[in-house]
Amino acid sequence: MSPKQLEEMYDAVIVGAGAAGLSAALGLLRSPAVARMRRQGVEPRILVVSKLQPLRSHTGSAEGGIAASLGNVESDDWHWHYYDTVKGGDWLVDQDAARLLAEYAPQTVINLERQGVAFSRTDEGRIAQRRFGGHTREFGGEPVRRAAYAADRIGHQILHTLWQQCVAEGVAFAEEWYVTDLVLAEDGGRAAGVVAFDTHAGAVKAVHARNVLIATGGAGRLFHTTSNSWDLTGDGMALALDAGLQLEDVEFVQFHPTGLAHTGILLSEAARAEGGVLRNADGEAFMERYAPGHADLAARDVVSRSIMAEIDAGRGVADPKDPDGPRDCVWLDMTGIDPDRMHAVLPQVVETIEQYAHIDPVSDYVPVKPTAHYTMGGIPVTTRGEVYRWSTDGADGEATRTKVAGLFAAGECSCVSVHGANRLGGNSLLDACLFGTRAGEAMAERIAHEPAGDPTAADDPEALELDGTLSDAVDRSADHRRQDLASLLDASAPHDPADDNPYRLMARLGSLMERALAVRCSAQSIEAALKELDSRVAPEADALHAHDATAAFNQEITAIWEVRHLTTLAGAMLSASAGRRESRGSLRRLDFPERDDERFLAHSMIRSTPVRGSSDGSGEPGYELLWQPVHIVDIPPKCREY
């Protein structure tokens, strides 16, 4: 589905149609500000652009639950959820944002239910809840049932519900359009729109907008083994870097402990919440040694590192499909779960194991290993979703946040910093829905102040001049992209067809990043990866060329742009990892094994500079790396133990 024609100027363009993007659209359209506009006869001009049909967005793969202190199964308190989120993020969490997340989580879940999400139920008819790693009662005490679930298909339920609500609201979608450029005004101070490639028509489109929201999801495809879908190629984060913006805490990538061996396919944390146990080659339930009292339901980074410690100690197991292969897995033992309950509350987990491992989890152990799952960092935003720049060049040397007018971000591609150095299970869907809604409401306030479709403003010379300036910037970017597309399709251009394979290059990049950063890293592994990235991968990405000269439905074109986005993001992630000389949350530095609050209780803020190549943490000359203090409110840092 594509718009029959593009508006001359949109009030807002939302890039991405997962939980964050759809929540933003609904938050905008249902806001008091838009209600006032409509009473005055003005309808906002909104377009949602998605490189997928929305129901294929990665939100649909979320399995286990959405966290909220509903207290439906046992007593709970949002203050406990707030504490768990800060502790889970290893104190790199902005506590003002985490407080909002926890306090408004029950309201967010109840609103989802009222819109149509079919949650599983208790015998009393309430929304059912289960345990999830790192969620406790009494500020770090016993595990608590906080994750609201729909069997093990909560993401599917939420995605379909939000999409149906958007259709009911008349939201216009541009489906299977790939956004290639985020365009800012010449001074970089405000959003101007985006450039997108309509894959159906094979045409580059200039989309002018007074407000833009980026909600493109994560970047799991940076790694060879990932639970992420094929399309999560870090597009939004790379667009921000290419536009001269910063990324925050991008060095923190969560590896989910239980990826099905050598496929990366996620086996939900719900399997352990329902009684699944991790075992090593000796049959030992080893997690009690690493996290007494929490065991298999400790935070994800703790469990992933524990699994790797067992493998490194020689207590790993081989994948039954390759019994003579590497012993780089451990067992997930689900045999203690009642079979009827297993099939009732974990149908997707069971189906995945049976279909891809050819194992019956009722009677057999399942091989698992950590899989790249979630990007904690991203485009820096306020708690209202407003994108900003962090600078240390303020008056009197003061550090400042400068908002980019009309530019917003939400979901996994953004960093409001509620996850810090490690995300708790169930908090990602909550983050996307809650802060996506807040960003939509903030956009609505800007739109109501100066709507593009207001007939009374048609003769305002200042507005006309501004729109003309913004439109010119987008049109110039679109012309450059059309030239790029023409060069990719030009069969007469010099190129080596044997080397023109974006998919093979993406696989090589995934292996490179896995060697460099998966679960653990060091200066040596980072430096080796940066050297290969700069000397081989990036030049080869720039030299890629399409094999077919047809633009329409040419997936190779978008694959080339995707691998270039991944290459851009990889350089920033490696450089930020090099600059953080400590171990915190998901980042385990073998050469700096301790957390260092004195130097690094701060958010990394990295942006590309014209010349690349440095990895020493200074950011020169390849990247500028600044540090922004963490917002500590009322939970002072202390040792993180489970």
- With a pLDDT cut of 90, the percent of the chain lying above it is 88
Catalytic option among 146, 221, 272, 300: 300
Instruction: Using the predicted structure, report yes or no on whether residue 596 has a pLDDT greater than 80.
Output: yes
What are the pLDDT digits (tens) for 291-329?
A: 998 899 998 999 999 999 999 999 999 999 999 999 999
The pLDDT score that the predictor gives to residue 467 is 79
Instruction: Using the predicted structure, report yes or no on whether residue 124 has a pLDDT greater than 90.
Output: yes
- With a pLDDT cut of 70, the percent of the chain lying above it is 95
User: Which stretch of DSSP H or E encloses residue 407?
Assistant: strand 400-409
What are the pLDDT digits (tens) for 509-552?
A: 999 999 999 999 999 999 999 999 999 999 999 999 999 999 99
* Pair 233, 519: CB distance under 8 Å: no
CA separation for the pair 293, 283 (Å, rounded)? 19
Instruction: Using the predicted structure, report yes or no on whether residue 394 has a pLDDT greater than 70.
Output: no
Mean pLDDT to the nearest integer, 155-184: 97
Q: At what angle do helices 95-103 and 105-115 cross, to 10 degrees?
A: 40
Within 10 angstroms of residue 387's Cβ, the number of other Cβ atoms is: 27
Mean pLDDT to the nearest integer, 231-237: 97
* Pair 242, 182: CB distance under 8 Å: yes
Mean pLDDT to the nearest integer, 323-336: 95
Instruction: Using the predicted structure, report yes or no on whether residue 256 has a pLDDT greater than 70.
Output: yes
Confidence of residue 641 (pLDDT cuts 50, 70, 90): confident
Amino acid type, 507:
A
Mean pLDDT to the nearest integer, 17-26: 98
Contacts 24+ apart (CB under 8 A), 362-366: 362/334, 362/335, 363/335, 364/335, 365/279, 365/331, 365/332, 365/333, 365/335, 366/260, 366/267, 366/331, 366/332, 366/333, 366/334
Residue-wise over 189-205: b if at least 16 C-beta within 10 A, else e?
Answer: ebbbbbbbbbbeeeebb
Instruction: Using the predicted structure, report yes or no on whether residue 614 has a pLDDT greater than 50.
Output: no
Mean pLDDT to the nearest integer, 368-389: 97
Structural domains of the chain, ranges and CATH numbers in brackets: 258-371 (3.90.700.10), 497-629 (1.20.58.100)
CA separation for the pair 642, 287 (Å, rounded)? 11
Instruction: Give catalytic status of residue 300 as yes or no.
Output: yes
Instruction: Quote the distance between the C-alpha of residue 279 and its chain's center.
Output: 30
Instruction: Using the predicted structure, report yes or no on whether residue 95 has a pLDDT greater than 60.
Output: yes
The pLDDT score that the predictor gives to residue 612 is 43
First and final C-alpha spacing in the chain? 49
Q: Classify residue 56 by its DSSP letter.
A: G
The pLDDT score that the predictor gives to residue 396 is 66
The pLDDT score that the predictor gives to residue 450 is 86
- As a whole number, the mean pLDDT across the chain is 93
The larger pLDDT score, comparing residue 634 to residue 64, is at: 634
Confidence of residue 615 (pLDDT cuts 50, 70, 90): very low
Amino acid type, 32:
P
The pLDDT score that the predictor gives to residue 36 is 95
Confidence of residue 492 (pLDDT cuts 50, 70, 90): confident
Instruction: Using the predicted structure, report yes or no on whether residue 345 has a pLDDT greater than 60.
Output: yes
Q: Which two tokens stand for residue 344?
A: 């009732």
Instruction: Using the predicted structure, report yes or no on whether residue 398 has a pLDDT greater than 90.
Output: no
The pLDDT score that the predictor gives to residue 456 is 64
Within 10 angstroms of residue 380's Cβ, the number of other Cβ atoms is: 25
What are the pLDDT digits (tens) for 205-223?
A: 999 999 999 999 999 999 9
From residue 377, alpha-carbon distances to 197, 219, 318, 374 in Å are: 27, 10, 33, 9
Q: Are β-strands 330-333 and 143-148 bridged in parallel, bridged antiparallel, or unpaired? A: unpaired
Residue 338 makes CB contacts below 8 A (sequence gap 6+) with none
The pLDDT score that the predictor gives to residue 457 is 62
3-state secondary structure of 512: helix
Instruction: Using the predicted structure, report yes or no on whether residue 375 has a pLDDT greater than 50.
Output: yes
Residue 124 makes CB contacts below 8 A (sequence gap 6+) with none
Instruction: Using the predicted structure, report yes or no on whether residue 611 has a pLDDT greater than 60.
Output: no
Nearest alpha-carbon partner for 508 in 536, 535, 547, 544:
536
Instruction: Using the predicted structure, report yes or no on whether residue 585 has a pLDDT greater than 70.
Output: yes
CA separation for the pair 620, 46 (Å, rounded)? 40
Mean pLDDT to the nearest integer, 144-149: 96
What are the pLDDT digits (tens) for 349-369?
A: 999 999 999 999 999 999 999
Strand-by-strand arrangement of the 177-184 sheet: 177-184, 191-198, 203-208
* Pair 257, 303: CB distance under 8 Å: yes
Lowest mean pLDDT among 192-206, 369-383, 494-508: 494-508
CA separation for the pair 331, 366 (Å, rounded)? 5
The pLDDT score that the predictor gives to residue 379 is 98
3-state secondary structure of 498: helix
Nearest alpha-carbon partner for 231 in 161, 155, 162, 176:
176
- Write a three-state SS string for 100-163: HHHHCHHHHHHHHHHHCCCCCECCCCCECEEEEEEEECCCCCCEEEEEECCCCCHHHHHHHHHH
The pLDDT score that the predictor gives to residue 430 is 98
Nearest alpha-carbon partner for 488 in 584, 384, 563, 431:
563
What are the pLDDT digits (tens) for 434-489?
A: 999 999 999 999 999 989 877 666 566 666 677 788 899 999 999 999 999 999 99
